[in-house]
Structure 1
Amino acid sequence: MKTIEIDVAACRNPKEFGRVLQEAIQALPGHGSSIESFVDSMVFGTMSELSPPYMITVTGAENPEVRAFAERLSNAIGQARLERRTRRGDDSEVVLKVV
């Protein structure tokens, strides 16, 4: 599994975190910065060029707002993977880990 580390220490808000993550997943133009947008791209593969399997490791998430967003996204990705396995019978091996 490919591991990509992103340092978000300089991010002051979730929107800035979103830009860093968009770069990491090679998001296509028009990609949103909401949790739903990232789940669609990362789990269902609709708006990014990076293909699973991969793990994004988030470091430097000291800003409480950024950390909370990253943790919510991590949980949403896990739930979406479970839903995909249940509905489609396959998996998209994508993990977002906040350290």
Structure 2
Amino acid sequence: MKIIELNAADCTTTKVFTALLKDAIQALPGHGTSIPAFVDSMIWGTGVSDLVPPYTIRVVGRLDREVGRFARELSDALEAARTDRRTRKGEDVAVVLETGRR
């Protein structure tokens, strides 16, 4: 599994964080910045990013409160979507966003 370290220490807003994350997943132009947009591209594979699973994105660095909350919510949403995909399609997509909270 690929492990990608995303240094978010200098991310003072979710806008900056999502730009780094889009770069990490090799998002194509037009990729959104919402949690559902990342879930769609990272778990459901809607063709708006070039990074192919399996992979783990490890968020490192002290996170701003707003950025940390967004990263944790995204991590939880990705985990829930993996479960949903296993239930619906009988397959798993090994994508993890580690936020350092666990």
Work out whether the TM-score is over 0.5: yes
RMSD: 0.7
Identity of aligned residues (%): 54
Q: Residue 25 of structure 1 contacts residue 49 of structure 1 at CA under 8 Å; is this kept in 2?
A: yes
Large movers: runs of 4+ above 2 Å: none
Is the contact made by 1:61 and 1:98 (CA closer than 8 Å) also made in structure 2?
no
SS of the residue 2:10 aligns to:
coil
Count, aligned residues: 99
Cα deviation digits, residues 43-67 of structure 1 (max 9, x gap) = 0112110000000000114200000
> What stretches of structure 1 of length at least 5 have no aligned partner?
none
In the alignment, is the contact (CA less than 8 A) between 1:27 and 1:48 conserved in 2?
yes
CA distance in 1 between partners of 2:62 and 2:76 (Å)? 16
For structure 2, the 5+ residue unaligned runs are none
**TM-score w.r.t. structure 1 length?**
0.97
TM-score between both structures, scaled by the size of structure 2: 0.94
1:13 alignment partner AA: T
1:71 counterpart residue number: 72
Counterpart secondary structure, 2:9: coil
Letter in 1 for 2:32: G
Q: How does 1:1-99 map to 2 (within 5 A)?
A: 1-46=1-46, 47-99=48-100
Structure 1 position 94, deviation (Å): 0.2
